[in-house]
Structure 1
Amino acid sequence: MLQEWLLELLAGFGKLFIHPIFYFSFLLAFVVGMFRVNRERKDFHTRVYDIYQEIRYILPSSLFLGLLLSLVAIGFGFTLPLELLNVIAAVTIVLSAGGFRLLSPAWTIGLALLIFSVSEKIGYSFIPYDGLSLNKILMTMAIILALLLMTEGILMLKRGWQGTSPRLVDSPRGLKVGVQFAQRLWLVPVFLVLPAGDLTAPWPWWPVISVGSETYSLIWFPFLIGFAQLIKSTLPELAVKATGKSVMAIGAVTLLLAVSAYWVPLLAVVSAVFAFVGRIWISWRHYAYEKDRHYFFTPQPKGVMILGILPYTPAKKMDLKIGEIIYKVNGIDVNTESEFYEALQKNAAYCKLEVLDVNGQNRFAQGSLYEGQHYELGLILVDEGKELAAEEAK
């Protein structure tokens, strides 16, 4: 039996690389990255990150969490028919028309669960297998939804705030001000059990949530998780982490409801509706909060604020961060971008910056420069919006 399970694990592993969602995720990330680069070039005449930035985040952060979920899923024997997984994949592809914004498990899996539930009520079944417990299938879907929703929150806390894209927008007074756009796509592959195959239950109590099947197979299924968030009133780290904590809380409550469906089957559908509406509420709450708040990335009365930092540049090596204010360059006070670069040219080989960090503390940042790098320090400053506004007025 052990040999059969090992062979089935290998076969399930291979199924990941023939699943369309696996390749679709990279294509989607590439297309979104292309639109981001075009937007950055329009706003700043340069790109901040290259077109592959979104692709870099797809797997490294989420693979470990996917393996942890796989241990839970195989250990409890989470069983879903392949046809239902195909519905989840189809819903994911449809919702991806909005970019990463609608790819929360609350919406992709939640909508698939509701479609499946309604179709069963009206007499149209996705599942060709007789004797399977529909209530247990709904419960399993709800538990997977909850676990992936909590995974979304964890990924937002750990990685969602990194590598945000700066943008220029018009303030209510018609001035150009800065905002940050956080967006990320993660591929979370999870081993699941299919209710058809050559495997038999390894233990009498397995699967814990039995759908009525007697033989099984495995699949490493690629779930897509994505989010997008515009941030104007604070630092991206604070805003995205706050959203991530809320998503985790919604996921925990959803999990409690989903597990309770073991005794009250209707709670499986209730948990999906709760997750669906709860995730909408989180997004709306962020939008409503930001709508009436003052812009954070604005021209400063003293110094120039950092809106973006290009990777692999002297500014990155000096550990400068977005939101910090540079008020002196080589001992010279600066209040505009032109003053900043004029002061930078006072020393052709070395620069010393006096910075007010995001905690209100003064610090020094310094580093070596090379000839021709004065305008290649790698900073995008909020003051740059003044120059763009002046160009548009001409």
Structure 2
Amino acid sequence: MVQEWLLELLAGFGKLFIHPVFYFSFLLAFVVGMFRVTRERKDFHTRVYDIYQEIRYILPSSLFIGLLLSIAAIASGLTLPLELLNFIAAVTIILSVGGFRLLSPAWTIGLSLLIFAVSEKTGYTFIPYDGLSLSKILMTMAVLLALLLITEGLLMFKRGWQGTSPRLAESPRGLNVGVQFAQRLWLVPVFLVLPAGDLTSPWPWWPVISIGAETYAFIWFPFLVGFAQLIKSTLPELAVKATGKNIITVGVITLLLAVAAYWVPLLAVASAAFAFISRIWISRRHYAYERNRHYFFTPQPKGVMILGILPHTPAKKMDLKIGEIIYKVNNMEVNTYTEFYEALQKNAAYCKLEVVDVNSQIRFVQGSLYEGEHHGLGLILAEEEKGFVAEGS
């Protein structure tokens, strides 16, 4: 029995690498990276991150959560027909036309569940499930939706605010102002049980969410989870973490509704509709909040504000942060890009900065400069006449 399980798990692991969604995720991240680099060059005449930035985040952050979800899925025997999993993958690929913005599980899995439920209700069945329990299939989809929605919120809270892309936008007064664009794609591989194969149930209670099958197989299925959020009125960390918390809350409520569907099957559809609508509400609420607030990244009356920091530069090594304001460079007060550049040239090998951080606390940073360093310190700064410019460009 143990050997059979190990072999089946190994076979399920191998299925991840032959699934089209696995490779599609990297292609999608590459294409989105190209558009981002084009936008950064248009706004600042330099790219902030290279074209592979989005690819780097696809797996490392999500593997551990995917492992936890896999343990829960195997222990409870979350079971779905392969045809239905492939339908979810197809919906995901279709929604990815808009980039990462529509890849929340609330929309990819939620929409799949609603389409499947409506098709069964109206008699237009297009996904075979061989007489398995429809109510249990819908419940399993709802539970999976909720778990992945919680995963989305956790990943946003932990990682979603890192590595945001600076952009230029036009204010109502026609001035160039800075904004931040947070976007991320994660591939969350989850072990699921297929209702066909050579395995038999090892325990009387497995799978917990039974759909009538007697033999089973495993598949490590790749789910795509993504988001995109424009931030103008505050720091990316604050905005993305707030959105992540809201999504976690919606995910928990969705999970409670999905579990309750064990006794009231209609709640499976209700949970998907709730998640779908709530995720739209979260996005619209952020948009409405931002629309009525003042821009955060604007030229300052005193000092110059940091909108972007290029990686692998002295600014990054000195641990400067976006949103901080540089008051002095080499003991010289700076209020414009020109003054900043002139003060930096005062000492071509070393610089000392007086910085006001995002908590309005003054701190002093210093570091060495080396000949050939890209764009001097590697900052994107506010300039009254030019909007935001790459320092040194």
- What TM-score comes out, normalization by structure 2 length? 0.97
Structure-1 separation of matches of 2:107 and 2:387: 39
Deviations 1:330-350 (A, max 9, x none): 000000011101000001211
Structure-2 separation of matches of 1:372 and 1:132: 66
Corresponding residue number in structure 1 for 2:301: 301
Could you tell me how far 1:387 is from its partner in structure 2?
Answer: 2.2
Structure-2 separation of matches of 1:147 and 1:226: 15
Could you tell me how far 1:2 is from its partner in structure 2?
Answer: 1.0
Corresponding residue number in structure 1 for 2:262: 262
Matched, 1:325 2:325: yes
Contact map agreement 2:74 2:191 (CA 8 A) in 1? yes
Where do residues 107-126 of structure 1 align in structure 2 (5 Å cutoff)?
A: 107-126=107-126
Contact map agreement 2:44 2:388 (CA 8 A) in 1? no
Could you tell me how far 1:129 is from its partner in structure 2?
Answer: 4.1
Corresponding residue number in structure 2 for 1:387: 386
Deviations 1:286-312 (A, max 9, x none): 000000100000000000000000000
Contact map agreement 2:369 2:376 (CA 8 A) in 1? no
Structure-1 separation of matches of 2:370 and 2:200: 67
Structure-2 separation of matches of 1:127 and 1:381: 54
Corresponding residue number in structure 2 for 1:106: 106
Could you tell me how far 1:83 is from its partner in structure 2?
Answer: 0.5
Structure-1 separation of matches of 2:129 and 2:248: 35
SS of residue in 1 equivalent to 2:124: coil
Contact map agreement 1:344 1:374 (CA 8 A) in 2? no
Structure-2 separation of matches of 1:94 and 1:129: 23
Structure-2 separation of matches of 1:95 and 1:64: 26
Could you tell me how far 1:375 is from its partner in structure 2?
Answer: 3.9
Corresponding residue number in structure 2 for 1:27: 27
Contact map agreement 2:307 2:381 (CA 8 A) in 1? yes
Could you tell me how far 1:123 is from its partner in structure 2?
Answer: 1.7
Deviations 1:302-332 (A, max 9, x none): 0000000000000000000000000100000
Q: Once superposed, what is the RMSD of the aligned Cα atoms?
A: 1.2
Identity %: 83
Corresponding residue number in structure 1 for 2:361: 361
Matched, 1:343 2:334: no
Contact map agreement 1:350 1:368 (CA 8 A) in 2? yes
One-letter code of the match for 1:104? S
One-letter code of the match for 1:259? V
SS of residue in 1 equivalent to 2:262: coil
One-letter code of the match for 1:41? R
Corresponding residue number in structure 2 for 1:143: 143
SS of residue in 2 equivalent to 1:48: coil
Contact map agreement 1:149 1:251 (CA 8 A) in 2? yes
Could you tell me how far 1:130 is from its partner in structure 2?
Answer: 2.9
Structure-2 separation of matches of 1:50 and 1:290: 28
Q: How many residue pairs end up in the alignment?
A: 389
Corresponding residue number in structure 1 for 2:289: 289
Where do residues 21-170 of structure 1 align in structure 2 (5 Å cutoff)?
A: 21-170=21-170
SS of residue in 2 equivalent to 1:125: coil
SS of residue in 2 equivalent to 1:386: coil
Corresponding residue number in structure 2 for 1:188: 188
Contact map agreement 1:341 1:375 (CA 8 A) in 2? no
Could you tell me how far 1:389 is from its partner in structure 2?
Answer: 9.0
SS of residue in 1 equivalent to 2:37: helix
SS of residue in 1 equivalent to 2:269: helix
Contact map agreement 1:167 1:179 (CA 8 A) in 2? yes
SS of residue in 2 equivalent to 1:335: coil
Contact map agreement 1:84 1:126 (CA 8 A) in 2? no
One-letter code of the match for 2:93? I
Contact map agreement 2:142 2:255 (CA 8 A) in 1? yes
Structure-2 separation of matches of 1:39 and 1:6: 48
Rate the CA distance shift 1:306–1:212 in 2: closer, same or farther, 3 A: same
Could you tell me how far 1:127 is from its partner in structure 2?
Answer: 4.1
Structure-2 separation of matches of 1:351 and 1:374: 15
Q: Which moved more, 1:119-128 or 1:63-72?
A: 119-128
Corresponding residue number in structure 1 for 2:245: 245
One-letter code of the match for 1:386? E
Could you tell me how far 1:121 is from its partner in structure 2?
Answer: 1.1
Unaligned 5+ runs, structure 2: none
Contact map agreement 1:175 1:389 (CA 8 A) in 2? no
Unaligned 5+ runs, structure 1: none
